[in-house]
Amino acid sequence: MAEILEMARQGILKTNIMYNVGLNSDMLNRYVGLMMNTKLLEKVLLNKRVVYKTTHKGIEFMYHCCEIERLLETENDVTKANGRTDILPSIMQFATPSGTHAESRKEP
């Protein structure tokens, strides 16, 4: 889901999501339906076309996904810098749980 939300940050056609993620239309409809029902994704009209765009709540969801990945990383994972961990800084500039920049958050 985080991969779909990342692609949809600027707005994306449903077919582009399907091909980029490699989902069949049934699975894509299930994911998009779930993300729209939970307000992570919204439909918007862009240049007379319906596109899907990540909501603020969706950005927060991506932030938390990256945080969970970071917490589960092993030393080997960190040295390889694999997966979506490289998108964490770009997500953190948009939203954190408290609505402030992550740099100003204090860890417990």
CB under 8 Å to 105, separation ≥6 — which residues?
A: 96, 98
Same domain, 50 and 16: yes
Q: Identify the domain containing residue 78 by its residue range.
A: 57-102
Q: What is the pLDDT of residues 3-12, one digit of tens each?
A: 999 999 999 9
Model confidence at 76, in pLDDT bands (50, 70, 90)?
Answer: low
Same domain, 45 and 64: no
Q: What is the pLDDT of residues 14-64, one digit of tens each?
A: 999 999 999 999 999 999 999 999 999 999 998 899 999 999 999 999 999
Q: What pTM was computed for the model? A: 0.66
Q: Are 8 and 53 in contact (CB under 8 A)?
A: yes
Whichever domain contains 17, its CATH number is 1.10.10.10
The answer as to whether 45 is a domain residue is yes
Same domain, 41 and 70: no
Same domain, 12 and 33: yes
Question: How high is the mean pLDDT of the chain?
Answer: 80
The answer as to whether 42 is a domain residue is yes
